[in-house]
Structure 1
Amino acid sequence: MPHGQQLSARMALLLRLTISTLCATGAYALLSCGGVPSAFSLQRNPTSRAVLCQRHPRIVYPLSRSRTAPLVLLLDREPRDDDKDVGSPKLLLSDFARIFSQAPATPATPQPDALTVWKSRAQQAAAPLLAAAANVKPLQILLGFGTALALVASSVAVTSSAISDFLAENQRGLVLERAILFGAILEDVNDAYVEQEVDIDRLFQTGVNAMLSSLDPYSTYENARQAEDLFLRTSGRYGGVGLTIGRDGDDVLVLGALEGFAFDAGVRAGDRILKIDNQPVRGLDLDRVKAMLRGEPGTNVQLLVQRDGATESDLALDLGRKLVRLPDIPLATEMRPGVGYIKLDGFTEGTADEMAAAIRNLALPDPDAAEAKPPLQALVLDLRDNPGGLLDAAVAVSQQLVPEGTHIVSTAGRVYGGEGSSLSYSSAKPPLLPPDTRLVVLVNRNTASAAEIVTGVVQDTDRGVVVGQRTFGKGLVQIVEPLPGGASLKLTVAKYYTPSGRCIQAMSYTPRGEERAVQIDGEDEDEDEMSSAYSNSIGKRVKDALRESFRTSNGRPVRSAGGIDPDIAVEPKAIGELERSLLQRGLFFKYAGEWLQQHAGAPQSQIRALDAAQESTYRDFVRYARAADAKAGTLAPHSRVLSEKLTALEKAIAASGDRQKSAREVQVLRQLLVEEDLAQFSSQKEAISADLREAVLARLTKPSARAASILSADPQVIAAVDLALDANKYSSLLAPPPSPSPLTTTAAAEPAAATAQLSSAQTVRTPQGRGVASSGARPSRQTMSTSSRDVSADQLKRKHFAAIAEELLAPSPEASVYG
């Protein structure tokens, strides 16, 4: 149970205990006085009418030996002539009173009227109570009062002790004190800050996220909107038309259209949405546009779009709303005869079902095919740029690959029952992929979290070979805890361990404990404790020399921390600085729209024109890119780092006031850097031409077809497919290592892949919080294993250009939404 619910449950229990004790004490005091309050009431108001009731034997028996004898209590009104029986009036003290109907009369005796009955029985019942009241002694009252006081004091003491023990446990009292202090600060800001308009919600969210970010970058507070986004990312479902939209100025731009949904209805990447159901959308907030696109599955929505290069200026499209399922597997195909390929982009609730369907389609014969395809001999599972997702989804996918009973992963953290507690996951059913099918897992630096769980179990159990680059190295697990108001808390609660027992977490965020004892790169041992704690929130990478060695099922050496080392290291295709800059600035995507405007026609004729005029198209693109540089106002190198440092140097020289010669030299340097960039249009012509063609095709063809065409020139995919076809090399990589001779050094036991030189290509981070908006149910408590996503240079090339445009044209959380 979460700590907040535990606190509420225990406080409620203590409150019920206190109330019950006080009620019991009051009842005891009443009984000890022998019914004195009722008697005193009759003495003060002797003309009041009484009603008949019975509850406690101790009160009843002094009045009569019969169990049906009444106790007199006060009644608020006079009886009426139309009262049928003595039990009809509504009584006071209903919890203690029960009305008894009038005793049945014998047929021969005439019945008195109701008023006579009331008077007679009231007088009979009042007499014993008045006599008892006359015999009450002050000492009896004092004794009852003292007894009640003692019981109250003891109950308060017991309750106080229980509350004190509860607050002292696990620093709950300190937590409560700090929470009250935080609330007092917010109240003071709201009441006394110099500006009257204070956004308390924004201040609260900023404060909470600042607190959580000092722990690690994955623990965050999600407001109601962000929680909906998180639900979409983990469930992958929403009711809509299957569009990804962004903003280009005031225009609403289509960044991507899902196959099976909006793409099949005729929408293409690059379309500008003019109207939705005859309502103009130019300048509207994207959340409102999203709401217009979303709706109940089975309903329709009318779109009016403008498309570059279309034969008609405006296109009217009728889209049916469906339950949209964002695919985690955008491509599953046969690369070569007998070699399947599956691209897995994430881990959500439906990933295991998608994976199972993809394996079956590749492994089973196609009854509609003209020729029978060869049996599936090998499978390449591409986990590059996969940021992770749900832990349960990673376990379910792993279960389809490894033998039944295989240990998949274990998680350890206090959330499982205290310090040192853990939870293990094992395969509970036979694998879907045949055990004799060779398996190659393709990874890179952006393979993280849940994707590393799958990679780790494949490598540690020797089920397959890992190819590519060292993975990201995220060995932490988060849970999503729903909060009041639709918000949620994503909190790191555990570490996970692969079957060999290693944790592959590459960064340390803990200021003390086990990670603190490990020497960290760049750590200053003279830092004070508080500054060290906050600096560790950024994270420090563990040195390679301190990574521990573990063994796979066959005895092959693998290492902890720092991510998962591939069995065969293969670098991606290099990308030049100019090409990277053009991708980041979105010039390919923007030029594609201009080219299509100049070559209006049917899609097939446009593709033929593109292939026939590659040289002239490239020259025109160079002109377009140089014009974009001139429009920026100043000449600047395409390297963002160089440009920023050069600008900072110019500002520093200008601030000094007496360095005119240096200022002129800096301008010469700037011009030289720009000329070198222009020279790269020649040296990188082949790569830039391929990117340019891809940008145009992204507006015209299916995303899956483009993704398949890109793979044929991908060096990492080519290496993985070649290995999958080479049975001898595949088997030798998984074979147990030879027994070490006495001359073998410790260093020889380290994995060969660990010595591979990794590329030094710069990594570019996407804008933080590039968001999607969604609708649907609130997220339930889920176990997640997600990673912040970096975009490598290779990823920029391999992603279809609609997604690239999403990053470039939509840098803020409000910039792109699913509709």
Structure 2
Amino acid sequence: MKHLRKLTLAAVCMIGVGFFAFRPDERFFEIARNLDIYATLFKELNRYYVDEINPNRLTKMSIESMLKNLDPYTNFYAEDEIEDYRTMTTGQYTGIGAIITTNKGKNIIYSILEGSPAEKAGLHIGDEIVKIDGVDLTTRKDANPDKLMKGQANSTVKLAVRRVGSPSLLEMNVTREFVKTGNVPYYGMLTDEVGYIDLKDFNQTAAREVKTALVELKGKGMKKLVLDVRENPGGLLDQAVLICNLFIPKDAEVVSNRGKVTEWNKTYTAPMAPVDTEIPLVVLVNGRSASASEIVSGVIQDYDRGVLIGQRTYGKGLVQTTRDLSYNTKLKVTVAKYYIPSGRCIQAIDYSHRNDDGSVGKIPDSLKVAFKTRNGRTVYDGGGVEPDVPTELVSRTSIVNSLNSKGLFFDYALKYRADHPTVKPAKEFELSDTDYQGFVNWLKDKEYDYTTQVEKDLSELEASAKKEKYFDAVQEQFKALKTKLTHSKDTDLAMFKKDIKQVLEREIVSHVYLQKGEREFVFRTDPEVKAALDLFKDMPRYDKILKGTK
């Protein structure tokens, strides 16, 4: 079987494909037959198609199309993508630590990592990269700025930068370094006794970073902990196991894998002595907490080790492994489902049974099974991890979404920073009413519009009334209602001032104080953090939740 797997992958990649002799088994014969058809078709296309074809591009497209019919996590990495793959799994690359995005045809620095060469050199979020080592990005549209930024450690890259408020181009020499994208962008004390760790990824150093933060916060007098895995897409399984191990006893079961290749099935247990099995713990989760972050939150819940606060997690209970292919290419393939200590699998989408149109659906409630935590609380499989204390997902208003999608918060933050050389610390920063009016005035000649949910609902109601022949009878009422409910930008800028101001303040803070400053600013209004602090003030309620007697 191992031989067949290697042979099939090599054939799919069109490397030395021909007719292969397999055992006289129908399945093996079908595989060989279809691979031979594919190889023959590819040769004929290459020989007779009217235009020259690019074999690398065509093969990659065909592989990706094939994998698309499986699940979103089974992926092919071509040779020129291997560096990106390494960055994803290790969180490390050689460069300057700036993320560049294209905005209105310009290459703009969208994010800067703290402590990176970009920050040390004095680059700002919003700077336009005009030239990289003499390559003019305004004329060389084919140039890839990300690749030009990368290079050997300790080598220098020369940048020409256009900055808002600066009359001329700025010339900068930036020394490339090994850049590490941290798994824990922030940790600190929320109160005198409540600590906070923000866990955003699970690459090779995740457990070490969490342990370092945990030990340091305990040294500062931390008595209770908030672990935040919101927006965490997951990563390496072994790191999830080690992070769970920080809070549960050695040898406790963490997670087990079960798949078609039975020799790969394995149960993972906590391999080391924990750091703290008693500290009161809250884990923050949301709909973008997936995979490894669901293992951590699910294990904490299954052992009644802490309370989960937020929204239901994504529901990715699938395990991937990476297989090396020929010519330095790789296949990341789903090989198993994982099961946490209660016995449940939290996979929410059934990729094995597709609809006629190729779409997939959620696992219906009727097929979900109840399981028990250590204390006997009921939990369910097949739908992500349900929080113990659910909170409402904060939705943005239509005007906020429009201003954000048009990049107007980002653009005004650039102007604000250029006009204000010094900005108050993140924890204290707040725009005055005069500052806000300045933003409103700046928007007057900017293009942005939106349709509110009320307007959408009214349009649907009008369409239904016309379809069912009621519209003529209520036409005047509809007209009057539409007049009253049609949005006015000026009215909305005043009505939703609090929401708009908050988003704008956060944008400005993130430009000046980067990730840590943004996190400190958000604490003021974060509903899940507030719920965690409220729960820690009521420890009898905390205990009742874990005992299932809330």
Same fold (TM over 0.5): yes
Could you say what secondary structure the match of 1:700 adopts? helix
Structure with larger RCO (C-alpha < 8 A, sep 6+): 1
Once the 2 structures are TM-superposed, how far is the Cα of residue 492 of structure 1 from its aligned partner? 1.4
Match of residue 489 from structure 1? 331
Q: Which residue of 2 aligns with 1:229?
A: 84
Distance 1:488 1:552, change over 3 A: same
- Flag the 1:674–1:437 CA change in 2: closer, same or farther, 3 A: same
Partner residue, 2:16: none
Q: How far does the alpha carbon of each residue in 1:216-275 deviate from its partner, in whole angstroms, 9 at most, with x for none?
A: 222233333344322211111111111111222443211111111121331111111233
Distance 1:345 1:247 in 2: 24
Tell me if the contact between 2:95 and 2:178 (Cα under 8 Å) persists in the aligned partners: yes
Query: Which residue is 2:472 aligned to?
Result: none
Change beyond 3 A, Cα 1:605–1:307: farther
Q: Using a 3 Å threshold, how does the CA distance of structure 1 residues 227 and 259 change in structure 2: closer, same or farther?
A: same
Tell me the equivalent position of 1:573.
394
Query: Given residue 156 of structure 2, which amino acid in structure 1 is its aligned partner?
Result: N
Is 1:338 aligned with 2:150?
Answer: no
Residue 508 of structure 1, aligned match among 350, 362, 368: 350
Please give the residue correspondences for 1:308-323 in structure 2 after superposition, counting only pairs within 5 Å.
308-309=164-165, 313-323=168-178
State the match for 1:691 in structure 2: 503
- SS of 1:318's equivalent in the other structure is strand
Change (3 A) 1:699 1:286: farther
> What is the CA distance between 1:293 and its match in structure 2?
1.9
Q: What amino acid sits opposite 1:428 in the alignment? A: P
* Aligned-partner residue type, residue 602 of structure 1: P
Q: Aligned to 1:627, what secondary structure does the other structure show?
A: coil
Q: Classify the secondary structure of the residue corresponding to 1:435.
A: coil
CA deviation digits over 1:675-725, x for unaligned, max 9? 356532222110101112222233322321221111121111111122234
Per-residue CA deviation, residues 388-408 of structure 1 (Å, 9 max, x unaligned), is: 111122112112221111100
Asked whether the equivalents of residues 506 and 521 of structure 2 are also in contact (C-alpha less than 8 Å), the reply is no
Mapped pair 1:378 → 2:378 = no
Q: Which residue of 2 aligns with 1:456?
A: 298
Say which one has the larger Rg: 1
* In structure 2, C-alpha distance between the alignment counterparts of 1:700 and 1:503, rounded to whole Å: 43
1:429 and 2:272 aligned: yes
**Residue 213 of structure 2 is aligned to residue 358 of structure 1:** yes
Say whether residues 1:248 and 2:99 are aligned partners: no
Partner SS state of residue 242, structure 2: helix
Deviations 1:728-772 (A, max 9, x none): 2222211265xxxxxxxxxxxxxx8xxxxxxxxxxxxxxxxxxxx
Q: Partner amino acid for 2:377?
A: R
After superposition, the Cα gap between the structure-2 partners of 1:285 and 1:497, relative to the gap in structure 1 and judged at 3 Å, is farther
Question: How far is 1:286 from its partner?
Answer: 7.5
8 Å Cα contact 1:380/1:441 also seen in 2:
yes
Give the direction of change, closer, same or farther, for the CA distance of 1:7–1:574 in structure 2 (3 Å limit): closer
Q: Return closer, same or farther for 1:2/1:307 CA change in 2, 3 Å cut-off.
A: farther
Partner of residue 13, structure 2 = none
Contact in 2 for aligned 1:464/1:734 (Cα 8 Å): yes
Q: Secondary structure at the match of 1:336?
A: coil
Aligned alpha-carbon RMSD (Å)? 3.5
Q: Which ranges in structure 1 are unaligned for 5 or more consecutive residues? A: 10-161, 365-372, 512-531, 650-664, 738-751, 753-819
Q: Distance in 2 between matches of 1:596 and 1:422?
A: 54
The one of 447, 451, 461 aligned to 1:637? 451
1:182: Cα distance to partner?
Answer: 1.4
Find the residue that maps to 2:436 and give its secondary structure: helix
Q: Secondary structure at the match of 1:254?
A: strand
User: For 2:415 and 2:288, how far apart are their aligned partners in 1?
Assistant: 33
The CA distance in 1 between the partners of 2:225 and 2:292, in whole Å, is 20
Aligned with 1:404 (options 250, 253, 256) = 250
Residue matched to 1:213: 68
Question: Paired residue for 2:234?
Answer: 388
Change (3 A) 1:294 1:167: farther
Q: What CA distance in whole angstroms lies between the structure 1 residues aligned with 2:478 and 2:205?
A: 56
2:143 and 2:540 mapped to 1: Cα distance? 55
Structure 1 residue 538 displacement after superposition? 2.8
What is the letter of the counterpart of residue 390 of structure 1? L
Q: Does 1:560 align with 2:415?
A: no
Number of the residue aligned with 1:109: none
**Equivalent residues in 2 for 1:504-653 (5 A)?**
504-511=346-353, 535=357, 537-597=358-418, 599=419, 602-604=421-423, 614-625=432-443, 627-629=445-447, 637=451, 642=456
Deviations, residues 63-98 of structure 1 (Å, cap 9, x unaligned):
xxxxxxxxxxxxxxxxxxxxxxxxxxxxxxxxxxxx
Cα deviation, residue 215, structure 1: 2.0
Q: Name the counterpart of 1:101.
A: none
Structure 1 letter corresponding to 2:272: K
TM-score, L = length of structure 2: 0.86
Determine the structure 2 residue equivalent to 1:774: none
Contact 1:216 1:538 in 2 (8 A): no
Q: Is the 8 A contact 2:455 2:485 kept in 1?
A: no
The question of 1:259 aligning with 2:259 is answered no
SS in 2 for 1:298: coil
Q: Does 1:302 align with 2:158?
A: yes
* Correspondences of 1:714-729 after superposition (within 5 Å): 714-729=526-541
User: Is the counterpart of residue 271 in structure 1 residue 127 in structure 2?
Assistant: yes
- State which of 438, 447, 456 in structure 1 corresponds to 2:280: 438
TM-score (norm 1): 0.59
Unaligned runs of 5+ in 2: 10-19, 464-476
Tell me, what secondary structure is at the counterpart of 2:337?
A: strand
Distance 2:455 2:69 in 1: 28
Shift in alpha-carbon separation, 1:4–1:736, aligned structure 2, 3 A? same
Amino acid at match of 1:687: D
* SS of residue in 2 equivalent to 1:429: coil
User: 1:348, CA displacement in angstroms?
Assistant: 0.7
Mapped partners of 1:706, 1:332: distance in 2? 12
The correspondence of residues 176-187 of structure 1 with structure 2, limited to 5 A, is 176-187=32-43
Q: Distance in 2 between matches of 1:562 and 1:303?
A: 48
Report deviation, 1:345: 0.8
- Cα deviation digits, residues 588-609 of structure 1 (max 9, x gap): 1122234445x2x5234999xx
SS of the residue 1:437 aligns to: coil
Q: Take 1:279 and 1:6, find their aligned partners in 2: how far apart are those partners?
A: 42
SS in 1 for 2:319: strand
- CA contact under 8 A between 1:214 and 1:533: conserved in structure 2? no
> Which aligned pairs between 1:64-83 and structure 2 lie closer than 5 A?
none
Q: In structure 1, how many angstroms separate the alpha carbons of the residues matched to 2:197 and 2:251?
A: 25
Q: Does 1:477 align with 2:338?
A: no
User: How far apart, CA to CA, are the structure 1 residues paired with 2:169 and 2:368?
Assistant: 60
Question: Could you tell me how far apart the structure 1 residues matched to 2:179 and 2:142 are?
Answer: 19
Contact 2:399 2:450 in 1 (8 A): no
* CA spacing shift, 1:545–1:679, aligned 2, 3 Å: farther
CA 1:285–1:671: 2 relative to 1, 3 Å: farther
Distance in 1, matches of 2:492 and 2:52, equals: 52
Report the CA distance shift for 1:278/1:223 in structure 2 as closer, same or farther (over 3 A). Answer: closer
1:168 correspondence with 2:58: no
Equivalences for 1:88-127 in 2 at 5 Å?
A: none
On the 8 A contact 2:402/2:450 being kept in 1, the answer is no
Cα separation, partners in 2 of 1:196 and 1:551, compared to 1, 3 Å: same
| Partners of 2:188 and 2:196 within 8 A in 1 | yes
Contact 1:581 1:639 in 2 (8 A): no
Matching residue's letter, 2:421: A
Task: Give the 3 Å change call, closer, same or farther, for CA 332–300 of structure 1 in structure 2.
Answer: same
Between the aligned partners of 1:176 and 1:627, the Cα distance in structure 2 is 64
* Distance across 1 between alignment mates of 2:258 and 2:518: 42
- State the identity %: 32
How far the C-alpha of 1:556 sits from its partner, in A, is 1.3
